[in-house]
């Protein structure tokens, strides 16, 4: 820290824990077992950051450590003491640099909220703190602030599970009920940020296309039943959930691929011929690849491929590849 | 075309006394005019909205090349070898699906007034390609006629091409701003073409453009005047009533238009990069076009799945063919196997398609 400070032990009863304006910590008080265990064994090691204020001290950094110390009935804690005359902007700089680890999404958002509530303009915030926070535009700043509209449990989850801002923003425009439902799904199946981003984006797009809400879509897909089904492992459940949503987002594509897979199963070759296709149906036609180890095999493969039965089946596959829409699908 | 007002004009100080600038300014009423010095740029508009920049006109000089090849799209799709003249950049119309939103961003409407440089560059270019039948137009990065009232550009291009019989000039538009063209003698190498969609699509997605009736009426008037016509069913858009609506549209078209005066018709299905999808979602929240079943194509753009494109093109192509059996039809940015399925053949490459086009035009126009 570049500001004058002194390290000293401060009696807990002189710390005003009610003034939390500059505190980024809003988690469950004393819910941090690791920290509690460590403090039980060795006391508070990392000093708090306090500011002198009317013969008492307000917490700038270290609210959680303060609560743990109080729970453990410690009488004093080590703390850096900042002078009373520091400006609010200087205090923000202290918070930024005194933080023991990189800010999480929620901490960044809360930090920005403090800056905004101190009356700083977006350009000013970007100029002063943007380089340290990786924020270079008012839009990005707004995006971080919008995270604070999430429910506390959702915000805490995305902050501690490595969601990127882009992934976290996919929860935007969802109702609290929808956020909770999706959070439950995420926690139960331990979805990572990328998976969740795809799932939510697809759910939103399905809902818009079908003129329903995301909540209605989730219910209509019976995703809860899958979560509660004891027959499946967690990874099977993850796979099923993804598959159900994909099928709803891409009904014709899924159906055509399924038909092709079925036809492929019925297409048996005695020689090692493989039939494949682009699952997006975009590359031209089917691929037939074969592996031979002896030139004599060529004749056998040629005979097999040109036999009436195989030609009919492959033609049918091609027909489905290009024309496999049902009447309903093509009619909108 | 719906009412549209330019609010601000930025004038490059180097051309402050240019006669075309005077003409343009005299035709814009009530706009704020600001001189821009050469070292100033228009980047202070970069934070502006599309709504703002679409009402801002920037008059300047183009110091690079006016004439370019159409960039086409990535490998895997056939392109027709069209040439473009970038005398204007950006369009005052506001179609939800417009690629210029992504390609240019929120940029003012730019009009390059150094038409003398354009003329000499174009003459050199056409001279270099004198043995070829080129198709060339101004409707790629702009609408060819939307700003015509400002500087009579259509008259300029029509006269420039009047002695260039082997080079076909196309005005491509979604407007009915044909006043200038009606007073021009229609050369055998001037085509005026319209991008067409059914009424519900025009009303919902093609903001500020002329209605279907207005476009067809304008086409009819120019046909009567002796111009060649072209039509572009691009982007073809999927929605619940597409089949009936496209059929009605084609019926309507050929009840106005004599198919023997139509030089070409193109088809292209809706396609857009991811970046444009986000812009559409943000700018046109009521639009549903990006939520259909689409895949990322070989060029990375979202497209309808191929079986759907085939079904739509087949229906539309058949309806066109029944009414205009001789017209040259082609697909824009489509794959060879789609050509094959719809038309029963496919050009073997983009160069082949360009060659086919040239041959057709040579026969048709007797060059």
pLDDT for A326 equals 85
ipTM value of the model?
A: 0.91
pLDDT for A54 equals 82
Assess contact for A170 and A200: CB atoms under 8 A.
yes
Q: To the nearest whole number, what is the mean pLDDT of chain A?
A: 90
Q: Which residue of B has its CA nearest to A251?
A: B293
pLDDT tens digits along B77-97:
999 999 999 999 999 999 999
Q: Which residues of B touch A207 (CB under 8 A)?
A: none
- How close is the nearest chain A Cα to the Cα of B239, in Å? 5
Cα→Cα distances B302→B93, B274, B289, B324, Å? 23, 7, 11, 31
Listed in sequence order, the residues at least 6 apart from B198 whose beta carbon sits closer than 8 Å to its beta carbon are: B212, B241, B242, B245, B246, B248, B249
Q: How confident is the model at residue B336 (pLDDT cuts 50, 70, 90)?
A: very high
What percentage of chain B carries pLDDT values higher than 70? 97
Cα→Cα distances B327→B110, B215, B320, B357, Å? 35, 20, 9, 11
Q: DSSP letter for A13, please.
A: G
B2 has a chain A CB within 8 A of its CB: no
Q: Which residues of B touch A321 (CB under 8 A)?
A: 307
In this predicted structure, the answer to whether residue A32 has a pLDDT above a threshold of 70 is no
Q: Do A282 and B295 touch (CB under 8 A)?
A: yes
| The token pair that represents A138 in the structure block | 């008012």
Of A86-95, B9-18, B44-53, the range with the lowest mean pLDDT is: B44-53
In this predicted structure, the answer to whether residue A70 has a pLDDT above a threshold of 80 is yes
Judged by CB atoms within 8 Å, which residues 9-68 of A form the interface with B? none
Listed in sequence order, the residues at least 6 apart from B185 whose beta carbon sits closer than 8 Å to its beta carbon are: B158, B162
Q: How confident is the model at residue A3 (pLDDT cuts 50, 70, 90)?
A: low
Q: Is the dihedral of CA A247, A252, A253, A255 positive or negative?
A: positive
Q: How confident is the model at residue A31 (pLDDT cuts 50, 70, 90)?
A: low
Q: How confident is the model at residue A328 (pLDDT cuts 50, 70, 90)?
A: confident
The residue among A169, A197, A278, A332 with the most chain B CBs within 10 A of its CB, best to mutate, is A332
User: B361 forms bridges with which residues in the sheet?
Assistant: none
Q: Which residues of B touch A252 (CB under 8 A)?
A: 293, 305, 307-308
Nearest Cα to B331, choosing from B265, B241, B261, B243? Answer: B265
Q: Which residues of A touch B239 (CB under 8 A)?
A: 332
Q: Which residue of A has its CA nearest to B335?
A: A284
In this predicted structure, the answer to whether residue A30 has a pLDDT above a threshold of 60 is no
pLDDT tens digits along B217-238:
999 999 999 999 999 999 999 9
Q: Do A325 and B303 touch (CB under 8 A)?
A: no
Task: Round the CA-based radius of gyration of chain B to a whole number and report it.
Answer: 20
Of A22-26, A163-167, B80-84, B195-199, the range with the lowest mean pLDDT is: A22-26
Tokens 């040239």, located at residue: B358
In this predicted structure, the answer to whether residue A5 has a pLDDT above a threshold of 80 is no
Query: What is the rounded average pLDDT of the residues B114-141?
Result: 95
As a whole number of angstroms, the distance between CA A187 and CA A149 comes to: 20
A288 has a chain B CB within 8 A of its CB: no
Q: Do B335 and A282 touch (CB under 8 A)?
A: yes
| The token pair that represents B117 in the structure block | 């440089």
Q: DSSP letter for B37, please.
A: -
pLDDT for A139 equals 93
Q: Which residues of A touch B335 (CB under 8 A)?
A: 282, 284
Q: How confident is the model at residue A294 (pLDDT cuts 50, 70, 90)?
A: confident
pLDDT for A329 equals 77
Task: Round the CA-based radius of gyration of chain A to a whole number and report it.
Answer: 30
As a whole number of angstroms, the distance between CA A40 and CA A23 comes to: 23
pLDDT for B80 equals 93
Q: In a 10 Å sphere around its CB, with 0-12 CB exposed, 13-18 middle and 19+ buried, how is residue A304 labelled?
A: middle
Among A299-308, B36-45, B148-157, which range has the highest average pLDDT?
Answer: B148-157
What percentage of chain A carries pLDDT values higher than 70? 96
As a whole number of angstroms, the distance between CA A168 and CA A181 comes to: 15
In this predicted structure, the answer to whether residue B331 has a pLDDT above a threshold of 90 is yes
E strands within chain A? 5-11, 15-16, 48-53, 56-61, 76-82, 273-277, 286-290
Query: What is the rounded average pLDDT of the residues A207-235?
Result: 93
What percentage of chain A carries pLDDT values higher than 90? 64
Question: Which is higher by pLDDT, B148 or A37?
Answer: B148
Q: To the nearest whole number, what is the mean pLDDT of chain B?
A: 94
The residue among B76, B293, B297 with the most chain A CBs within 10 A of its CB, best to mutate, is B293
As a whole number of angstroms, the distance between CA B26 and CA B55 comes to: 17
Query: What is the rounded average pLDDT of the residues A57-73?
Result: 91
Q: Which residue of A has its CA nearest to B238?
A: A332
As a whole number of angstroms, the distance between CA B311 and CA B342 comes to: 9
pLDDT tens digits along B345-354:
999 999 999 9
Number of A/B CB contacts below 8 angstroms equals: 68
Query: What is the rounded average pLDDT of the residues B101-130?
Result: 95
Question: Which is higher by pLDDT, A182 or B367?
Answer: A182
Q: Do B307 and A250 touch (CB under 8 A)?
A: no
pLDDT tens digits along B309-330:
999 999 999 999 999 999 999 9
Q: Is the dihedral of CA A113, A118, A119, A122 positive or negative?
A: negative
How far is Cα of residue A223 from the mean position of the Cα atoms in its chain?
19
Q: How confident is the model at residue B48 (pLDDT cuts 50, 70, 90)?
A: confident
In this predicted structure, the answer to whether residue B166 has a pLDDT above a threshold of 60 is yes
Query: What is the rounded average pLDDT of the residues B94-112?
Result: 96
Cα→Cα distances A242→A216, A226, A248, B6, Å? 17, 11, 10, 49
Query: What is the rounded average pLDDT of the residues A237-250?
Result: 96
| The token pair that represents A114 in the structure block | 């403090």
**Nearest CB to A285; choose among B240, B298, B337:** B337
- How close is the nearest chain B Cα to the Cα of A325, in Å? 6
pLDDT for B367 equals 56
As a whole number of angstroms, the distance between CA B170 and CA B192 comes to: 6
Q: Which residues of B135-171 are buried (b: 16+ CB within 10 A; e: fewer)?
A: bbbbbbbbbbbbbbbbbbbbebbbebbbebebbbbbb
As a whole number of angstroms, the distance between CA B12 and CA A205 comes to: 45
pLDDT for B43 equals 60
- Helix axis angle for A176-189 and A152-160, nearest 10°, is 40
As a whole number of angstroms, the distance between CA A40 and CA A42 comes to: 6
In this predicted structure, the answer to whether residue B62 has a pLDDT above a threshold of 90 is yes
pLDDT tens digits along A108-134:
999 999 999 999 999 999 999 999 999
User: A15 forms bridges with which residues in the sheet?
Assistant: A57
pLDDT for A18 equals 86
Query: What is the rounded average pLDDT of the residues B19-44?
Result: 85
Judged by CB atoms within 8 Å, which residues 31-70 of B form the interface with A? none
Question: Which is higher by pLDDT, B257 or A98?
Answer: B257
Q: Do A253 and B295 touch (CB under 8 A)?
A: yes
B76 has a chain A CB within 8 A of its CB: yes
Query: What is the rounded average pLDDT of the residues A71-78?
Result: 92
Query: What is the rounded average pLDDT of the residues A286-294?
Result: 90
Of A9-13, A133-137, B40-44, B361-365, the range with the lowest mean pLDDT is: B40-44
Q: In a 10 Å sphere around its CB, with 0-12 CB exposed, 13-18 middle and 19+ buried, how is residue A28 labelled?
A: exposed
pLDDT for B46 equals 56
In this predicted structure, the answer to whether residue B75 has a pLDDT above a threshold of 90 is no
């Amino acid at each position: 820290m570049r500001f004058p400070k002194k390290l000293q032990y401060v009696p807990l009863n002189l710390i005003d824990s009610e003034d939390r304006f500059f505190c980024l910590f809003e988690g469950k008080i004393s819910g941090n077992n690791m920290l509690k265990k460590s403090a039980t064994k060795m006391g508070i090691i990392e000093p708090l950051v306090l500011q002198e204020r009317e013969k008492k001290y307000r917490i700038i950094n270290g609210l959680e450590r303060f609560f743990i110390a109080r729970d453990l009935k410690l009488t004093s804690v080590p703390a850096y003491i900042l002078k009373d005359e520091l400006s609010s902007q200087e205090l923000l700089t202290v918070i930024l640099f005194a933080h023991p680890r990189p800010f999480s999404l929620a901490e960044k958002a809360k930090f920005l909220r403090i800056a905004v509530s101190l009356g700083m303009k977006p350009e000013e915030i970007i100029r002063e703190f943007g380089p340290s926070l990786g924020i270079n535009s008012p839009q990005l700043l707004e995006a971080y602030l919008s995270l604070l509209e999430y429910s506390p449990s959702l915000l805490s989850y995305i902050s501690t599970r490595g969601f990127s801002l882009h992934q976290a923003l996919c929860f935007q425009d969802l109702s609290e009920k929808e956020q909770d439902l999706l959070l439950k799904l995420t926690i139960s199946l331990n979805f990572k940020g990328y998976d969740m981003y795809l799932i939510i984006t697809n759910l939103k797009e399905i809902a818009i296309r079908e003129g329903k809400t995301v909540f209605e879509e989730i219910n209509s897909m019976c995703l809860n039943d899958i979560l509660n089904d004891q027959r499946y492992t967690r990874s099977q459940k993850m796979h099923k959930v993804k598959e159900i949503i994909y099928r709803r987002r891409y009904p014709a594509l899924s159906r055509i691929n399924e038909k092709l897979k079925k036809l492929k199963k019925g297409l048996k070759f005695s020689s090692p011929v493989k039939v494949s296709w682009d699952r997006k149906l975009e590359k031209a036609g089917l691929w037939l690849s074969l592996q031979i180890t002896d030139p004599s095999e060529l004749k056998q493969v040629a005979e097999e491929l040109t036999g009436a039965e195989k030609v009919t089946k492959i033609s049918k596959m091609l027909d489905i590849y290009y024309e496999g829409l049902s009447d309903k699908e093509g009619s909108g | 075309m719906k009412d549209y007002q330019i609010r601000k004009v930025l004038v490059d100080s180097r051309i402050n006394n240019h006669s075309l600038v005077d003409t343009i300014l005299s035709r814009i009423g009530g706009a704020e005019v600001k001189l821009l010095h050469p070292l100033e740029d228009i980047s202070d508009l970069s934070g502006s909205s599309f709504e703002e920049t679409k009402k801002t006109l920037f008059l300047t000089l183009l110091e690079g090349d006016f004439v370019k090849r159409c960039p086409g799209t990535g490998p895997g799709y056939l392109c027709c070898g069209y040439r473009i003249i970038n005398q204007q950049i950006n369009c005052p119309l506001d179609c939800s699906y417009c690629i210029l939103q992504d390609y240019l961003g929120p940029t003012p409407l730019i009009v390059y007034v150094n038409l003398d440089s354009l003329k000499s560059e174009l003459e050199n270019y056409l001279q270099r390609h004198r043995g070829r039948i080129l198709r060339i137009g101004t409707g790629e990065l702009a609408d060819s006629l939307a700003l015509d009232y400002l500087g009579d550009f259509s008259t300029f291009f029509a006269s420039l091409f009047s002695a260039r019989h082997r080079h076909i000039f196309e005005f491509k538009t979604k407007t009915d701003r044909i006043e200038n063209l009606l007073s021009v003698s229609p050369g055998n190498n001037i085509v005026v073409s319209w991008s067409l969609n059914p009424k519900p699509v025009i009303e919902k997605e093609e903001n500020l453009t002329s209605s279907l009736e207005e476009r067809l009426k304008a086409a009819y008037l120019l046909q009567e005047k002796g111009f060649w016509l072209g039509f572009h069913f691009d982007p073809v858009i999927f929605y619940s009533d597409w089949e009936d609506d496209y059929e009605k549209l084609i019926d309507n078209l050929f009840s106005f238009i004599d198919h023997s005066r139509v030089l070409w018709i193109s088809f292209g299905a809706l396609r857009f990069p991811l970046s444009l999808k986000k812009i559409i979602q943000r700018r046109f929240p009521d639009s549903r076009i990006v939520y259909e079943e689409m895949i990322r194509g070989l060029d990375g753009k979202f497209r309808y799945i191929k079986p759907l494109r085939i079904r739509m093109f087949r229906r539309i192509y058949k309806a066109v063919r029944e009414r205009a059996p001789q017209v040259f039809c082609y697909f824009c940015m489509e794959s060879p196997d789609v050509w094959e399925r719809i038309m029963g053949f496919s050009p073997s490459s983009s160069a082949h398609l360009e060659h086919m086009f040239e041959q057709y035009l040579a026969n048709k126009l007797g060059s």
